[in-house]
Amino acid sequence: MAEYEYVLSSIDGAVGIVTLNRPKQLNALAGPMMRELVDALEGLDANQDVRAIVITGGPTVFAAGADIKDMSDATPVDMLLRNNIGLWDRLKKVSKPLIAAVAGYALGGGCELAMLCDIIVAAENARFGQPEINIGLMPGAGGTQRLTRSIGKFLAADMILTGRMLSAEEALQHGLAARVVPHELIVDEAVRLGKQLAKQPPVALRLAKEAITRAFEGRVDDGIEFERKTFYLLFATQDAHEGMQAFIERRQPTYQGR
């Protein structure tokens, strides 16, 4: 099994487990971490012994979003050339069921990562949000499209335009999370669900997953492309850099509308 710096990859029975492992930074998704995550998932997807895959950050935090410190000085061209978000197109190609086991914060890119999975299991302490607006940005990895499709336009707009977070219970009520479990059991419960899936007929499982994905993602690609370009474009605004710098300096941002 490959060794990584920012993620742990393991197998329990027929269930692959990828654990985001940058807890001090609340699993902020830096570029190298995203590359490792995609690589680990593709490795498990290719492994014949694995039938379902859990993505988790453990019982405390899932992921607090893209790494703001990485992006605070970036220009739109830097973002376009790095195209870290483009890596996630590969995640959509994973053929085995993906279970997001979410405890604590799943914000920005973290929430978007969970929404790239097939089933979201939330711990009682989970908090889902797309708070990019608070730092002068907007979701860039599918949030405007997948959150809107998951929970409906009006609640999604409330979250994306105000930065409001949903609790686990709210996420369950609005169809973002499929189940809520005690936080100390989050990984065990997700693996138990993975083992249940692993007993299902693999070909039917794979094709059913693909069919569900088509129902969800059909015609979403145009929206995703638009979102990604506008996200990158926001790096041309002074407000985005002010917002990210204010986060780093732990102060309130002052926006000028430029």
Catalytic residues: 66, 109, 112, 132
Sign of the torsion angle spanned by Cα atoms 132, 136, 141, 146: positive
CB of 141 to ligand CAA, least distance (A): 4
User: Which residue number is nearest to ligand CAA in terms of Cβ?
Assistant: 108
CB of 104 to ligand CAA, least distance (A): 8
Q: How many residues bind ligand CAA (CB under 6 A)?
A: 24
Q: What are phi and psi of 215, to 5 degrees?
A: -60, -40
Q: Is 140 in the site for ligand CAA (CB under 6 A)?
A: yes
Rounded Cα gap, residues 84 and 164, in angstroms? 25
Q: Is 232 in the site for ligand CAA (CB under 6 A)?
A: no
Rounded Cα gap, residues 187 and 103, in angstroms? 9
Site pattern 89..108 for ligand CAA (x: CB under 6 A): ----------------x-xx
Task: Evaluate whether 20 touches 7 at the Cβ level (below 8 Å).
Answer: yes
Residue 15 burial (C-beta neighbours within 10 Å; 0-12, 13-18, 19+):
buried
220: nearest Cα among 136, 120, 147, 164: 147
Q: Is 159 in the site for ligand CAA (CB under 6 A)?
A: no
Token pair of 82 as six digits: 């790095």
Q: Is 234 in the site for ligand CAA (CB under 6 A)?
A: no
Pick the piece of the chain touching ligand CAA (CB under 6 A) from 32-40, 132-140, 148-156, 169-177: 132-140
CB of 24 to ligand CAA, least distance (A): 6
CB atoms within 10 A of CB 3: 7
CB of 133 to ligand CAA, least distance (A): 9
Q: Is 79 in the site for ligand CAA (CB under 6 A)?
A: no
Strands 7-12, 52-56: pairing kind: unpaired
Which parts of this chain interact with ligand CAA (CB under 6 A)? Answer: 25-26, 28, 64-69, 85, 105, 107-109, 112, 131-132, 134-135, 137, 139-141, 143
